[in-house]
Amino acid sequence: MGKSKVLVVGGTGYIGKRIVKACLAQGHATYVLQRPEIGLDIDKLQMLLSFKEQGARLIEASFSDHQSLVDAVKQVDVVICTMSGVHFRSHNILVQLKLVDAIKEAGNIKRFLPSEFGMDPARMRHAIEPGNVTFEEKMTVRNAIEKAKIPFTYVSANCFAGYFVPNLSQLATLLPPKDKVGIYGDGNQKVIFVDEADVATYTVKTIDDPRTLNKTLYLRPKENILTQRQLVDMWENLTGRTLDKFSISAQDFLASMKGMDLAGQVGVGHFYHIFYEGCLSNFEIGEEGEEASELYPEVQYTRMDAYLKRYL
Ligand SMILES: NC(=O)c1ccc[n+]([C@@H]2O[C@H](COP(=O)([O-])OP(=O)(O)OC[C@H]3O[C@@H](n4cnc5c(N)ncnc54)[C@H](OP(=O)(O)O)[C@@H]3O)[C@@H](O)[C@H]2O)c1
């Protein structure tokens, strides 16, 4: 059987561009949606052209033109959507419902991967407001997919390293702290960090794999399951400097939401579930899921000390 033809929707995005790269690297005929709405965004256009230079094909279609989406989807076997879903960038998860309609009408798609790539929304029904919107909207998309009987894989990627690792998981910065670092509670909840390039590699590996059909793929590379304290230790060992540590109680952390804008409040809610509740690692993967590093042991995933070295 040949490798599936893949359409990446949202290909110029943060994770999308890495998915395009991984599709090409794994030898898939790779198509990337080009939306007329990009207007004068020269950076986006040039990124799309660079994908073409690397061997991808660009397909024009718009979320405002249903038939154009159907026509795009008909050209491929698999659709991977990386639609925006981070409030401080932009959050358009429900726009995907239009893509679900197009996939349903086209009728040829043998696997759809919607924009997920975070915590498993099915396990986040208890999430606190307003951050729960992320999980509720992802569940709305899941429900539409399953109602339309579209074959799927959901990817639960846990923490993208770039957002959580160099900053030692401090909110509102992406850079390493210089003097002091806030520790969430006792700092001992197990968190799972994944290099974004590895997220893309594992994601693309699933698309022709019958073991991941209608399942959730959880990314839990063993050596990247770390507590916040272990992450801080790693950085201190690399720099040879000790940071002042202060513990933040769950109550104070949640109280910090007051007066923040929506994006900040969503961030605090998500961090609360990850760092105080341990929501990434406090369950066993059941029948509904598979673990990526077990399915694909050949992937040489990036360890977080290597990731951190980029920031020295
Ligand atoms: N686990 C983690 O730590 C983590 C971190 C960040 C994100 N995520 C998840 O990863 C997924 C992707 O997030 P991201 O940060 O990569 O997204 P992003 O870069 O903000 O946006 C991705 C793409 O969405 C498309 N898009 C945005 N608005 C649109 C609209 N109105 N209509 C059509 N397309 C639109 C654009 O695609 P084109 O212009 O290319 O068509 C854009 O490049 C989300 O589900 C998010 O929740 C997880």
pLDDT of residue 2: 86
| Residue from 18, 19, 64, 86 whose mutation best tests the ligand 1 pocket (most atoms within 8 A of CB) | 86
Distance from residue 237's CA to the centre of ligand 1 (Å): 34
CB of residue 63 inside a 6 A radius of ligand 1 = yes
Please measure the distance between the N-terminal and C-terminal CA atoms of the chain and give it in whole angstroms.
Answer: 45
What sections of 2-131 are H helices per DSSP?
16-25, 42-53, 66-74, 96-106
pLDDT in tens, 266-286: 999 999 999 999 999 999 999
Atom 37 (ligand 1) nearest CA: 10
Q: Would the pLDDT of 1 be above 90?
A: no
CB of residue 13 inside a 6 A radius of ligand 1 = yes
CB of residue 82 inside a 6 A radius of ligand 1 = yes
CB of residue 117 inside a 6 A radius of ligand 1 = yes
Phi, psi at residue 205, to the nearest 5°? -60, -30
How confident is the model over 183-198, as a mean pLDDT? 98
Q: Would the pLDDT of 16 be above 80?
A: yes
96 within 8 A of 13, measured Cβ to Cβ: no
Share of the chain above pLDDT 70, in %: 100
pLDDT of residue 293: 98
What does the DSSP 8-state code read for residue 122? Answer: G
Residue 130, preceding bond cis, omega within 30 degrees?
Answer: yes
Distance from residue 4's CA to the centre of ligand 1 (Å): 23
Distance from residue 257's CA to the centre of ligand 1 (Å): 24
Q: How far is CA 114 from CA 203, 229, 276, 297, in A?
A: 11, 33, 28, 24
| Residue from 83, 142, 159, 203 whose mutation best tests the ligand 1 pocket (most atoms within 8 A of CB) | 83
Distance from residue 89's CA to the centre of ligand 1 (Å): 8
CB of residue 97 inside a 6 A radius of ligand 1 = no
Directed axis angle between helix 96-106 and helix 66-74, to 10°? 60
How confident is the model over 246-254, as a mean pLDDT? 98
CB of residue 11 inside a 6 A radius of ligand 1 = yes
Nearest to 58 by CA among 43, 47, 70: 47
CB of residue 235 inside a 6 A radius of ligand 1 = no
Residue 156 CB-density burial (10 A; 0-12 exposed, 13-18 middle, 19+ buried): buried
Task: Tell me what the pLDDT averaged over the chain comes to.
Answer: 98
Distance from residue 85's CA to the centre of ligand 1 (Å): 5
Atom 30 (ligand 1) nearest CA: 92
pLDDT of residue 46: 98
**Which residues does the annotation mark as catalytic?**
138
Share of the chain above pLDDT 90, in %: 99
pLDDT in tens, 52-86: 999 999 999 999 999 999 999 999 999 999 999 99
Directed axis angle between helix 96-106 and helix 132-147, to 10°? 10
pTM of the model: 0.98
CB of residue 12 inside a 6 A radius of ligand 1 = yes
Q: Would the pLDDT of 291 be above 90?
A: yes
Q: What is the dihedral of CA 5, 99, 147, 212, to 10 degrees?
A: 30
How many helices (H) and strands (E) are present in the chain, helices listed first? 12, 15
Distance from residue 92's CA to the centre of ligand 1 (Å): 8
